[in-house]
Structure 1
Amino acid sequence: MNARRGLWSLAGTMACLLVAVTGCGTSAGSPAAVRGSVSGPIEPHTITWLNARPSDGPVIKAVADVAAEYGKTHPGFKLDIISTPDRPSYLQKVVTLAAARKLPEFFDVDATPFAEKLRRQNRLVDVGNLLDEFGAKHRFRPLALDYQKFDNGGVYGLPLEFAMEHFWYNKSAFAEAGIEPPRTLDEFIADCKPLRAKGYIPIALDGKDGWPLERYLAYYPFRLQGNAFVKKLKRGDAKMTDPAGKAGADFIARLGAAGCFAKGFSSAGYTDATDLFTTGRAAVINDGTWDLGLLATDTLPASLRNDVGYFKLPTAQGAATGTDDYVVSSGIGMAVNSQKFDPLVKDFLKYLVSRYPAKYAAMGQLSPTIDTPTAIPGNATPVYGQVIREAERLGTRTAKPWDTELDPTTNNVVQQNLVLLAQGNMSPEAFMKSVDQAVTTNSPRYFSK
């Protein structure tokens, strides 16, 4: 799967390594550097960006192009790009480097509890403050910046993407089953039976990576309470057994009992899931606009090319969020190491902010900036442009992925037990109890009351 979507796993390793991070002093990064204030001559040298992205992806290509341009007017400058697309391996590397205080100038990070520890140790530059200084903050989509916000309201990761997550569906499969795109989450479950009866796998799912199924767990709570529930849950101020949490756990159990996922889904990866959908064997896949090249171009088989539609996250009775509120992200952010923040790093970052959006949008991607239109590729199907235009009518709230909110150990418990819950090997009651126990045990190490 596209690496930027997988979020923090190997939580046990991370938790152990975090002890080393926490044990270090907090002298790294002066207050001035944290604010983005540095002075002195710009002296070109090599700087490094450690990232969790595919090396041939549009983000890397666009950043590399900008760096090459910058190097032409700053002889001696080089951006060393080190990509580790496998997210668990990347995470282990970052935590290890953080413990040794050897993080490079730039590194990818979400607004997770781990990153919050770095922030409290003054090891991250305030990117939001820098964007203000550059006069560029107004250019960014509010939801792109919101996705990068820490609990204190600050932005410490530069958004390099913007993506909306939809449910993509096979129109012919739905027609054969005599159903329409579901309006509610309950209808979504009910649709699985007629799709199965017509020989389709109702929902293609990347079960190996953990977080895709965790998305489904978050849907009911988000519809009922927005992000308020997970914000409280992670600190122990709410329980999984509360009505919103119970609705999420029951939703997973009901999806499993209705046969909505493929047999053996837990061992299926991203490629397995997308292949099920793009070959017409699965009727639905939950995917983001980063995959428009797979879902809305002539790379699709001819038989499916004009048969792919999409629908938004269904609603629920008593919903507190609107139909245009759903998962919208700006991907993993580019963090700036305050320990290595110098005039060159700041100058390059300013140049990157000014030049990157247009290069990224030219590749058919949604830019994190408002003023940069997406170039629709020549081989796009009509649905490509339709989905891109959804960015113009988004709501004001976006569902935060739970794997960026929960402490890493609790998140590991959630992802492991979710599979058992969906397979019918764990009851909703046992699942909820396991989550509440994990939060009680682990959250105090990450969140202060």
Structure 2
Amino acid sequence: MTITKRKTALLAAAVAAALALASCSGAASGTQPNDVDPQGEIVPREISWLLSRPADGGVITAMKEIAAEYATDHPGFSLNLITTPDRPSYIQKYETLAAANKLPELFDTDATPFAQKLASQERMIDVDTLLTDLDLKKDFREAALNYQRFDDGSLYMVPFEFQLEFFWYNSALFKSAGIETPKSLDDFPQMCKALRAKGITPIALDGQDQWPLERYMAYYPFRMAGPEFIQNLKNGKASFSDPAGKAAAEWLYNLGQAGCFQEGFSSTGYADAQALFTSGKAAVYNIGTWELGNLATQKLDAGVRDSVDYFTLPGFDGAVTEANEYVTPSGIGMAINAKTYDPLVRDFLAFALKNYPEVYAGTGALSPTTTAETTIPADATELYKRSVEQANTVGKSIAMPWDTQLDPATNTRLQQELPLLVQGDIKPEEFITTMDASLAENNNG
């Protein structure tokens, strides 16, 4: 067994054990999910937050500042940040702690089937009710909250970010190849061929981290069948052999045949992929507004700065989602442990969530609320402001990242198979057969 397969097997076993133990534990909470205003004295103590975020990122920086301010009026209070930025390692830790009923007061989670199981066991506070009770729900962007919701519409996670994912492109390279931005997803292969003919790498891709290529897998189904396709796929009500899944596989295969991605893309890391674009060697780069500081300020190489622009996810004739609907994530959400929820946790969250938007937006980031105006850096280009303003125009449907939706084993298999499909090592039919078999084996729906 290879190291990769052994790690996958161990992670799958840990997840299975966690699910089994969690199902046996029942409701272990000390507070009901809707009891968001527990009575009693606010007694300062240390509370902990299990996170999967960069230690030097905007969310943690802002929350450290807010926690320190709260502590000045509540001596004895502290916020212990338990950070594991590596997502697979974090998931294993989080699910193991959940199985043992040892989750801290706050913990990060996506809206996964595992998290929904915890919510159904009344182990997480109802965030919809909490935000309403705090009179804060009206302040949040609808798209930011919707990204955190389970398929049934319930909300158990608080968003701390809001991002828009664009296709950044080099207009000078497009002009040299005699092409315009693609109006349809079906235009991508021809776009790539035209750029290749001029010796230009069409699309820079971070293949090493796997999720960027998985984004491409999500695009065609989202436009063809809407957000319901991935919901049905993970719940066993759809398959990769359905029209939307088949179209996605064929589109990815055609992108590979057209040479859309750089040579050796599967081993290219995040920084190197970005450098291909920012140095003018690649024409397109698909990434979110968390990179505005590098793509829309004077930090960008002067040789390409005036040529950089962006377009949003194209559709095609018959698409069921709108042009203003694409990948608009609000990041991994924060859940609140019902077992440890008390007057202190509520009071701190009320203080933090009221003050967070302004502090976070002050860093130049998009707030998950509409109440805080993003501070545009002094060295920003015109694209920075335009990107920020575009956040106010997004639609209701969200192209959910598949890595936050599929069960871990199926997701790992998908990430392994996608490079093979794009490289032409397997045909779409083989890819579909393999993935449907993985779904059948691992589906928990």
Please, what TM-score do these two structures have when normalized by structure 1? 0.94
TM superposition shift of 1:199: 2.3
Residue of 9, 12, 15 corresponding to 2:12: 15
State the partner residue of 1:326: 326
Take 1:172 and 1:407, find their aligned partners in 2: how far apart are those partners?
Answer: 42
Task: Verify: 1:368 aligned to 2:368, yes or no.
Answer: yes
Take 2:340 and 2:255, find their aligned partners in 1: how far apart are those partners?
Answer: 48
Which stretch shifts more, 403-412 or 59-68? 403-412
SS class of match (2:117):
helix
RMSD: 1.4
Counterpart of 1:29, as a letter, is S
State the partner residue of 2:4: none
State the partner residue of 1:267: 267
Task: Verify: 1:208 aligned to 2:202, yes or no.
Answer: no
1:17, 1:96 within 8 Å by CA — same for their partners in 2? yes
Counterpart of 2:331, as a letter, is G
Where structure 2 has 5 or more consecutive residues not aligned to the other structure, the ranges are: 1-6
TM superposition shift of 1:38: 2.1
Which whole-Å deviations, capped at 9, do the CAs of 1:193-249 have from their partners, x for residues lacking one? 121222221111111122111111111111111112111122221221111111100
Take 1:331 and 1:107, find their aligned partners in 2: how far apart are those partners?
Answer: 13
Take 1:122 and 1:16, find their aligned partners in 2: how far apart are those partners?
Answer: 24
Which stretch shifts more, 32-41 or 178-187? 32-41
State the partner residue of 1:93: 93
Take 1:442 and 1:68, find their aligned partners in 2: how far apart are those partners?
Answer: 44
SS class of match (1:431):
helix
Which stretch shifts more, 152-161 or 14-23? 14-23
SS class of match (1:399):
coil
Counterpart of 1:32, as a letter, is Q
- Pick closer, same or farther for the CA change 1:302–1:200 going to 2, 3 Å: same
- Pick closer, same or farther for the CA change 1:343–1:302 going to 2, 3 Å: same
Task: Verify: 1:192 aligned to 2:192, yes or no.
Answer: yes
State the partner residue of 2:180: 180
SS class of match (1:48):
strand
TM superposition shift of 1:180: 0.9
Counterpart of 2:32, as a letter, is A
Kindly, what percent of the aligned residue pairs are identical?
A: 51
Counterpart of 1:110, as a letter, is D
TM superposition shift of 1:34: 5.5
SS class of match (2:76):
coil
State the partner residue of 2:52: 52
1:188-267 to structure 2, matched below 5 A, reads 188-267=188-267
Take 2:213 and 2:412, find their aligned partners in 1: how far apart are those partners?
Answer: 13
SS class of match (1:259):
coil
1:98-117 to structure 2, matched below 5 A, reads 98-117=98-117
Take 1:239 and 1:72, find their aligned partners in 2: how far apart are those partners?
Answer: 54
Which stretch shifts more, 303-312 or 114-123? 114-123
Counterpart of 2:112, as a letter, is T
State the partner residue of 1:69: 69
SS class of match (1:50):
strand
2:30, 2:341 within 8 Å by CA — same for their partners in 1? no
Counterpart of 1:19, as a letter, is A
State the partner residue of 2:276: 276
The alignment covers a number of residue pairs equal to 436
Take 2:281 and 2:391, find their aligned partners in 1: how far apart are those partners?
Answer: 29
Task: Verify: 1:36 aligned to 2:36, yes or no.
Answer: yes
State the partner residue of 1:6: none
1:34, 1:123 within 8 Å by CA — same for their partners in 2? no
Take 2:388 and 2:27, find their aligned partners in 1: how far apart are those partners?
Answer: 45
Counterpart of 2:16, as a letter, is V
2:32, 2:122 within 8 Å by CA — same for their partners in 1? no
TM superposition shift of 1:142: 0.5
1:120-199 to structure 2, matched below 5 A, reads 120-199=120-199
Task: Verify: 1:354 aligned to 2:354, yes or no.
Answer: yes
TM superposition shift of 1:384: 0.5
- Pick closer, same or farther for the CA change 1:13–1:36 going to 2, 3 Å: farther
Which whole-Å deviations, capped at 9, do the CAs of 1:326-345 have from their partners, x for residues lacking one? 11111000111112111111
TM superposition shift of 1:88: 1.5
2:32, 2:338 within 8 Å by CA — same for their partners in 1? no
Counterpart of 2:12, as a letter, is A
1:267-416 to structure 2, matched below 5 A, reads 267-416=267-416
SS class of match (2:303):
coil
1:70, 1:348 within 8 Å by CA — same for their partners in 2? yes
Which stretch shifts more, 191-200 or 361-370? 191-200
Please, what TM-score do these two structures have when normalized by structure 2? 0.95
1:131, 1:137 within 8 Å by CA — same for their partners in 2? yes
Counterpart of 2:371, as a letter, is D
2:33, 2:123 within 8 Å by CA — same for their partners in 1? no
TM superposition shift of 1:11: 5.5
SS class of match (2:25):
coil
TM superposition shift of 1:33: 4.7
Which whole-Å deviations, capped at 9, do the CAs of 1:310-331 have from their partners, x for residues lacking one? 0010112211111111111110
Take 1:221 and 1:107, find their aligned partners in 2: how far apart are those partners?
Answer: 31
1:111, 1:148 within 8 Å by CA — same for their partners in 2? yes
